Chain A
Amino acid sequence: MTTSTLPSAAPQRARRDPVPRSRRNGTAKLRRRSAPYLFVLPFIVIFLAFSVYPLIFTARLSFTNWRGSGSAEWVGWDNYTYLLTSGAFWGSLGNSAVLWLLIVPIQIVLSVIVAVLLDSAKLKLRGLYRVAFIVPFVTPLVAVAQIWVVLFDQQYGAINAFLGLFGIPDIGWLTTSAWAKPTLALLFLWKTTGFIVIILLSGLQSIDGSMYEAAELDGASRLRQLWSITVPLLRRTIMFAVVLQTLAVFQMFAEPFVVTQGGPYNSTTTAGYYLYNHITRGDLGTGAANSFLLVVIVMVLSLFFVRMLRAKD
Chain B
Amino acid sequence: MNRNPKRRVLRLTAVGAIAVTALGLTACGPDIGTDAADETGTGRLQAPTSEQPEGEITIWDRSGDLYEVFDAVIDDFTEKYPGIKVNHEAVDINAKLQNTLITGTDVPDGVFLDDALIGGFADHLWDLTDVLAPYVDDIAPQKIDATSAGDGIYGVPYDLNPGLLFYNAAALEAAGIDATAIETYDDLLDAARAYQQARPESHPIHLEQSPFLGQLQLEMYASQLGTSIADADGELRLDSPEYEQILTFLDTVQTEGLGTRAEYLSPTDIAELENGDQVFYPWAIWFDFAPQQLLPETSGDWRAMELPAWEDGGARGGAMGGSSFVLPRDGENSELAWLFYEFLMYDEAGYSAVWGVNDIYPTGLNTSIPAYLPAADPSAPLFQPLDALGGQDLWAVATTAGAQIPGGTAIPSWWNGAVDYLGNDIQKMLDGDLTPAEVISGSTDAIQTNLIDRQ
Question: A residues within 8 Å of B by Cβ?
Answer: 33, 37, 44, 48-49, 52-53, 56-57, 60-61, 64-74, 82, 86, 88, 149-150, 153-157, 175, 261, 263-266, 277, 279-283, 286
Contact = CB atoms under 8 A, between A and B. Distances in A.
A87 B22 CA distance: 35
Interface in B31-45: 31-39
18 contacts: A52-B18, A53-B25, A60-B26, A60-B32, A64-B32, A66-B30, A72-B29, A74-B32, A86-B450, A153-B267, A155-B268, A157-B267, A263-B210, A277-B417, A277-B420, A280-B94, A280-B98, A281-B416
Contacts of A73: 32-36
A157 B39 CA distance: 51
Contact of B26 (A44, A56, A69, A279): A56
Secondary structure class of chain B's binding surface, majority of residues: helix
Contact of A263 (B36, B121, B424): B424
Interface string B258-300: 0000000011100110000000000000000000000000000
B6 to A, nearest CB: 9
A297 to B, nearest CB: 21
Contacts of B266: 149, 153
6 closest Cβ contacts across the A-B interface?
A69-B123, A73-B36, A71-B31, A53-B25, A52-B22, A72-B30
A95 to B, nearest CB: 14
A69 B124 contact: yes
B198 interface: no
Given A57-B26, A153-B268, A277-B420, A71 B33 contact: yes
Nearest to A262: B420
A275 to B, nearest CB: 14
Given A71-B36, A73-B34, 9 more contacts: A37-B14, A52-B22, A74-B33, A149-B267, A155-B272, A156-B268, A263-B427, A282-B121, A286-B454
B88 interface: no
Given A53-B25, A69-B123, A265-B428, A155 B271 contact: yes
Given A280-B98, A286-B454, A71 B37 contact: yes
A74 B36 CA distance: 8
B382 interface: no
B304 interface: no
B28 to A, nearest CB: 8
A175 B417 contact: no
Interface of B: 10, 14, 18, 21-23, 25-26, 28-39, 94, 98, 101-102, 120-121, 123-124, 209-212, 266-268, 271-272, 413-414, 416-417, 420, 424, 427-428, 450, 454
Contacts of A281: 120, 414, 416-417
Nearest to B120: A282
A57 B30 CA distance: 10
A53 B26 contact: yes
Nearest to B21: A48
Contacts of A282: 98, 120-121, 413
Given A68-B101, A68-B124, A88-B420, A57 B31 contact: no
A53 B23 CA distance: 8
B209 to A, nearest CB: 7
Of A149, A150, A281, A283, chain B has the most CB atoms within 10 Å of the CB of A281
Given A44-B18, A155-B271, A277-B420, A71 B427 contact: no
A154 B101 contact: no
A244 to B, nearest CB: 26
Contacts of A265: 424, 427-428
Contacts of A149: 266-267
Contacts of A69: 39, 101-102, 123-124
B37 A283 contact: no
B17 to A, nearest CB: 9
A156 B25 CA distance: 55
A266 B37 contact: no
Contacts of B18: 44, 48, 52
A88 to B, nearest CB: 7
A56 to B, nearest CB: 5
A56 B266 CA distance: 44
Given A53-B26, A56-B26, A82 B454 contact: yes
Contacts of B413: 282
A71 B35 CA distance: 8
A99 B69 CA distance: 44
A283 B420 contact: no
B420 A261 contact: no
A72 B212 contact: no
B39 to A, nearest CB: 5
Contact of A72 (B36, B124, B427): B36
Contacts of A283: 417, 454
Given A154-B268, A157-B267, A70 B26 contact: no
Contacts of A150: 267
A175 B34 contact: no
Contacts of A67: 120, 123
B434 to A, nearest CB: 11
Contacts of A88: 420, 450
A52 B271 CA distance: 53
B12 to A, nearest CB: 13
A238 B176 CA distance: 67
A154 B262 CA distance: 10
Contacts of A154: 268
Contacts of A277: 417, 420
Contacts of B34: 73-74
B118 to A, nearest CB: 12
Given A64-B30, A70-B39, A72-B36, A261 B267 contact: no
Given A52-B18, A263-B211, A263-B424, A70 B23 contact: no
A114 to B, nearest CB: 32
Given A154-B268, A282-B120, A286-B454, A68 B102 contact: yes
Given A150-B267, A153-B268, A155-B271, A60 B29 contact: yes
A297 B121 CA distance: 32
Contact of A261 (B22, B37, B38, B212): B212
Nearest to B122: A69
A65 B26 contact: no
A156 B303 CA distance: 26
Contacts of A60: 26, 29, 32
Contacts of A279: 98
